[in-house]
Structure 1
Amino acid sequence: MSTKLLVSSSLFSVYGNFAVRFLGIASTAIMARLLAPEDFGLIALAAVVYELFVSLGDLGTQKYILKQSKIDNDIYNTTFTFRFINLNLMAVLLVCLSGPIGNFYGAPVVTELLWVYAICLSIKSLQNIYFFGFMRDLNYKPVVNVNILVKILSVAINIGFAFYFQDYRAIIYGVLASVLLMVLRTYTMKLPVPKFRLQGLRENWNFSKWLILEVFVGYIRGKADIVIAGKFFDTSQVGFYEVGKSNGSMPMQEIYAPLSNIMLTALSKNKGSAPNNSNSDIEKGIIALALIISPIFVGVFLFMDVFVSLLLGDKWLVALPIFESFLTLAYFTCFAQLLANAFLANDLVKRFVFFNAFLTLLILVIMLVSVNYGVTIEEFSMIRAAFVPFALIINVLYIKRFVQIKQASIYLSLIGYLAISCLCALPQYMILSVYFELPRIFNLLITLMLALPAYYFVSRYMTHWIKNYHTEFSAALTLLDFIKDKLIAVKKKLV
């Protein structure tokens, strides 16, 4: 698979994801001002359970489609049946457990919220499985168009609910409407209608069975902190924590989420096609990812107070340390998730699951010990974030036992592009902050105008030099050239 196709697909998907997120900013900004932190806290307690049941219901069906080197209607229909059965079983189980879960939190409202989430699970089970075929073929235009259309309608509905209810019901009914709209849209496209097919379910199960443990491991790693916070802190603090977690990590996750599926497809299709080809793709993926997200991470971290104030309002500034902690967590998590796809593509699911189970157990113990020592909610978020860089290094060392990769290229890209980002942004940031009493928004705009061109030229120079010793960095040059060509094309249209 050509690097050019990967780059173009990745960038188009990222652009689409940003468009969807931009549409959601209006909804988030309004709802954060109309609703109280307690409302977000209640939704977080129910959503963290719902997300576990969604993961168990999906059980890697999308990844199963993406990793197929060859595919036919039988595979699509069997996967649709597998997913339909799983999600509806999870819906029934969620209803049965809703009462005990509400009692655990001491919040009966959570029980009612889980009933609505159970309906969402049943609706999701009907989604047209052929929709995943666009992602498999790296044809992200229809995927992006669907996501944007559904988001536009969902934002309108969410804002209407927020003005009408002005409490947590606005969020839960908005989720229900969004799920329904997505399923309906996949059936209005020119796609085959999936059919129920029981033959071949064993293949789906053989792929997915080891992912059950990974789902639990991933849940504990990503969501157990919400459960612990819900037990040891009040709903207002949980609301600050959840909003800080979801919005603080947003810039990184919105970039990586579309890249994740693209990288899994590329790694799977290239596996075995040439000696060490897929291994090279692992390194190229990390290098390209570091080039893209490092300047965004540094810029958002420096001006997190501006983004929080503009997006959510000044009342959320008290949770600024939480936003910064989860931005840092998300930055390193992007690379960890890319390595996870490398494990899947190289059929190392079992080894990956058990290894990450150990790391997850370790962070769970650390979090439980910390809350028992009376840490604040801000300190709790910092402890959670501090574990991720350590886990990333351990993952790199572990995958090297099974896949031949160059650690030097990985660490060089992580350290190099992060250092260049700081070098290009910090000087003018410090000068404007110390010697000029400008509003923070003007400081942001000036820093942005100066730092981005500087980052482009410095990173290009560094990449040219490193490429002489590490050929994998050619992926970064391809990406930089692609961006340059797009900017020139936009300039010509404007002129």
Structure 2
Amino acid sequence: MSLKQQALSGMLWSSIQTFGNQFISFGVSIILARLLLPAEFGLIGMIGIFMGIGGALISSGLSASLIRTTNPDQADYSTVFVFNLVGSIVVYALIFMAAPYIASFFKQQILVEITRLYSLSFIISAFTAVQITRLHKHMNFKSETRASLISTLVSGVLGIALAYLGFGVMSLVWMGLAGALVNTVMLWVQSGWKPSLLFDKQKFRYHFGFGSRMMFSGILDILFTNAYIIIIGKFYAPAQLGYYNRADSLKQLPVSTFSGILNKVTYPLFAEIKNDDVRLKSVYKQIMKMVIFIIAPVLVIMGVLGEPLFRFLFTEKWLPAVPYFQIMCAAGILYPLHAYNLNILSVKGRSDLFLRLEIIKKLLLVGVLAASFPFGILGLIWGQVIFSMIAFFINTHYSGKFLKYSSLEQLQDITPLLLLAALSGAGTYAISYFLSDSHDAVRLVAGGFSGMLFFLILARVFRLESGQFIADLLKKKLPASIPIPFIKYL
């Protein structure tokens, strides 16, 4: 199968997986939000940082190294598998012993049981890391999609049933474990690959040499991204952390859906064309503008309609999360640009620069946190917006040099999209205000439809390249000069 055909197939199955998982997970989250209390979601949020760090320690960035390695063999895959499995057991033991201290820090004794049980997912997931990496390496997402959708559905049904029966926060724990277990079993049945019990020290040093920097970068990112959760969980009631997590998860819905589909496919694609800087820049530029064209108006309109959206989906008890959500939407717009710029460094093999940027950004985040903490939770979230804007220029520094596509050039390309998104948000607000006495469903449909329509009309009037690109994409009329073969024939 050619690179074009592989990417096309990967895009299709990745889209099915992402949209399917988002649809199922979103439906499950709506039901659970009605059955459980915000404080119970806050308890799960408190251990999120430890789960994230544990996952980063286990993988150690070796999966990314396997993807960028040309023709890895059985010894490469088995070495990484053995390391992941042994590492998962060690990490679980450490977190098991640390559970009482975690509970003491947050002053929530129930976190001992939650942490020890939930962290079993480390060992379960260690069995699938290499299988998933092999699928990504070959842009074969069909088996992963099947396993992911079924595991999400099964675990979601279990979580709802347990919540209905009164298991409270433990319904979320068992749901997470069930999803990991079902996904693991299905991937082992379908993948067709089995590890050999061997550990090649030379290959390990090769992969760890690249992956260790990715690991430390990942740990830094998880640690500082979850700094907000630590601070809110430590100094505020669990319910406030529940509101924060609910706002963040809803904001991430469009971001992770649209950028996630492309990110999963484009990383191995970038790796294939990493030595052709002209082509790499052209591919990156088109993807960046296409994603912002979609994400910017969606986040702006969702933010404007935050109150009726939360009341309609999650009931009145979740309305305190609305101000958090509206601010987070502004910070989320630039997220895809952060990820894509760092992907360039990764495929270029410059994990040293990747780590250097992460250290710089985390030092910056410490300053932002210190400055915004005195202003309460809203101040902390506004700090996220400021940090996201500054981080954009940091992330684009080295990738801009590699591609000859500077931060200012990238910003210049997306500024028209951001301005039109802001105008569409203003139109949405006017419609929603006019219909303020109507049912929330009416406000959401009328405001959302009119806002998107207004954005598309403006894009057409001002002849934005991204709008025409997507229109041609849907009509399958892209010119042959566009060097994006995996998109051209969608």
- What is residue 218 of structure 1 aligned with on the other side? 221
Q: Is contact 1:220-1:360 (8 Å) kept?
A: no
- What is residue 441 of structure 1 aligned with on the other side? 441
Matched, 1:276 2:278: yes
Q: Distance in 2 between matches of 1:385 and 1:7?
A: 35
Aligned-residue CA RMSD (Å) = 2.7
CA displacement, residues 247-294 of structure 1 (integer Å, 9 cap, x when unaligned)? 23222123222322222112111011x353223333222122212212
Q: Distance in 1 between matches of 2:353 and 2:476?
A: 42
Instruction: Please list, as runs of the form range in 1=range in 2, the aligned pairs for 1:307-318 lying within 5 A after superposition.
Output: 307-318=309-320
- What is residue 290 of structure 1 aligned with on the other side? 292
Instruction: Please list, as runs of the form range in 1=range in 2, the aligned pairs for 1:45-444 lying within 5 A after superposition.
Output: 45-127=46-128, 129-199=130-200, 200-272=203-275, 274-371=276-373, 373=374, 375-407=375-407, 409-424=409-424, 426-427=426-427, 429-431=429-431, 433-434=433-434, 437-444=437-444
- What is residue 482 of structure 2 aligned with on the other side? none
- What is residue 482 of structure 1 aligned with on the other side? 473
Q: Is contact 2:151-2:178 (8 Å) kept?
A: no
Judged with a 3 Å threshold, the aligned counterparts in structure 2 of structure 1 residues 214 and 102 are, in CA distance, closer, same or farther, namely same
Q: Distance in 2 between matches of 1:91 and 1:47?
A: 14
Q: Is contact 1:66-1:135 (8 Å) kept?
A: yes
Code of the aligned partner of 1:232: F
Code of the aligned partner of 2:80: T
- Deviation (angstroms), 1:91: 1.1
Q: Is contact 1:80-1:128 (8 Å) kept?
A: yes
Judged with a 3 Å threshold, the aligned counterparts in structure 2 of structure 1 residues 369 and 416 are, in CA distance, closer, same or farther, namely closer
Instruction: Please list, as runs of the form range in 1=range in 2, the aligned pairs for 1:449-460 lying within 5 A after superposition.
Output: 449-453=449-453, 455-456=455-456, 458-459=458-459
Q: Is contact 1:460-1:480 (8 Å) kept?
A: no
Give the match's secondary structure for 1:180: helix
Q: Distance in 2 between matches of 1:112 and 1:298?
A: 40
- What is residue 491 of structure 1 aligned with on the other side? none
Give the match's secondary structure for 1:263: helix
Range moving further from structure 2, 125-134 or 312-321:
125-134
Give the match's secondary structure for 1:165: coil
- Deviation (angstroms), 1:107: 1.9
Structure-1-length-normalised TM-score:
0.87
Judged with a 3 Å threshold, the aligned counterparts in structure 2 of structure 1 residues 296 and 108 are, in CA distance, closer, same or farther, namely same
Structure 1's consecutive aligned runs of 4 or more residues displaced over 6 angstroms after TM superposition are 1-5
Instruction: Please list, as runs of the form range in 1=range in 2, the aligned pairs for 1:7-46 lying within 5 A after superposition.
Output: 9-10=10-11, 12-46=13-47
Structure-2-length-normalised TM-score:
0.88
Give the match's secondary structure for 1:108: coil
- Deviation (angstroms), 1:300: 1.4
Q: Distance in 2 between matches of 1:339 and 1:81?
A: 31
Q: Distance in 2 between matches of 1:181 and 1:99?
A: 29
CA displacement, residues 298-323 of structure 1 (integer Å, 9 cap, x when unaligned)? 22122122322232221111121111
Q: Distance in 2 between matches of 1:190 and 1:198?
A: 21
- Deviation (angstroms), 1:82: 2.5
Q: Distance in 1 between matches of 2:41 and 2:288?
A: 34
Judged with a 3 Å threshold, the aligned counterparts in structure 2 of structure 1 residues 123 and 59 are, in CA distance, closer, same or farther, namely same
Code of the aligned partner of 2:295: I
Range moving further from structure 2, 425-434 or 282-291:
425-434
Q: Distance in 2 between matches of 1:153 and 1:264?
A: 29
Give the match's secondary structure for 1:195: coil
In structure 1, list runs of 5 or more residues that go unmatched.
Answer: 467-472, 487-495
Count residues with an aligned counterpart.
474
- Deviation (angstroms), 1:430: 1.4
Q: Distance in 2 between matches of 1:392 and 1:47?
A: 25
Judged with a 3 Å threshold, the aligned counterparts in structure 2 of structure 1 residues 186 and 3 are, in CA distance, closer, same or farther, namely closer
Q: Distance in 2 between matches of 1:304 and 1:340?
A: 31
Q: Distance in 2 between matches of 1:436 and 1:26?
A: 26
CA displacement, residues 44-68 of structure 1 (integer Å, 9 cap, x when unaligned)? 1122211211122122233223323
Q: Distance in 1 between matches of 2:7 and 2:330?
A: 26
Range moving further from structure 2, 340-349 or 438-447:
438-447
Q: Distance in 1 between matches of 2:470 and 2:168?
A: 45
Q: Distance in 2 between matches of 1:390 and 1:170?
A: 39
CA displacement, residues 24-43 of structure 1 (integer Å, 9 cap, x when unaligned)? 22321222122112211211
- Deviation (angstroms), 1:461: 6.3
Q: Is contact 1:67-1:264 (8 Å) kept?
A: no
